[in-house]
Chain A
């Protein structure tokens, strides 16, 4: 049916179908949450939390389960924006902004460039000893252990402490100046290493081409 819709050819039909499915799933959840909000069962913060929870879990499932690698990258963006919403709920607006800037704007774009430069195909069909069942068992076991520990534990008095924007920067550069410098040096080394790694092989390619041409001549 979707093939016969009058859409431009460049519209990715899987994205359309996926968007419709996400809408169909999210709308009842939104209505249930709104009903609970109006009935004073949950507060507005909890409504936002459960919406972010749904987005994060659905996006993470898409990231690890989708076979199309670009769709996985798009779900990763949704997940990281949901994580930014959770940071906002925890009253740390600065880190939420950094999350959106660095992840949504930087890391994911870098990953998509990486995909484009390595013609990464979709996950191949593995014939010999696929590790997926093993991975699923490990994931479920780890989630079970974590959930049991979290639910069982006593978390003491819960009071929200909010650090003002200005204090955050002042204390970061007064009390944590040595870690900041170390992280700066680490970034410098890592990015220099990235440049060296991405460039060096080109020189080797030229050398290899020369050797082969000499050998052939």
Chain B
């Protein structure tokens, strides 16, 4: 049996890489991809804890399912916003969205 630490180490690395991508990228779509990586890391943690440590093994699975659903909704909405940004500013870089900055 694989020890639970292996899954947690994997998800830690994945989350840190996703955070690096969110902070380092400028294109809004690449930032969305990095957010997907972070959400996948969180889902791995939920499922690992549910399978190994929860006697019932259920709540974690439901949460992982909801994370996947919310990620799909988030990508749809965020792409709508990116398209809008592109129409307004002719670019998809988040640096261009600076109307609230003064």
Using CB atoms and an 8 Å cutoff, list the residues of chain A in contact with chain B.
43, 45-46, 49, 53, 56-57, 60-61, 63-64, 69, 72-73, 76, 79-80, 83, 86-87, 89-92, 95, 98-99, 102-103, 106-107, 110-111, 113-115, 117-121, 123-124, 126, 131-132, 134-136, 138-140, 142-143, 146-147, 150-151, 155-156, 158-163, 168, 171-172, 176, 179, 183, 186-187, 190-191, 193-198, 200-202, 205
Min Cβ gap B92→A in Å is 4
B20 and A139 form a contact (CB under 8 A): yes
Closest to B6 in A: A49
Interface SS majority for chain B? helix
Chain B residue contacts of A161, Cβ below 8 A: 50-52, 54-57
Q: Which of A43, A63, A99 touches B37 (beta carbons < 8 Å)?
A: A63
Min Cβ gap B56→A in Å is 7
Q: Which of A64, A163, A196 touches B58 (beta carbons < 8 Å)?
A: A163
Tally the A-B contacts, defined by beta carbons under 8 Å: 242
Min Cβ gap A152→B in Å is 10
Sort A-B residue pairs by CB-CB distance and give the 3 closest, nearest first.
Answer: A135-B23, A64-B21, A139-B20
Min Cβ gap A91→B in Å is 6
B30 and A183 form a contact (CB under 8 A): no
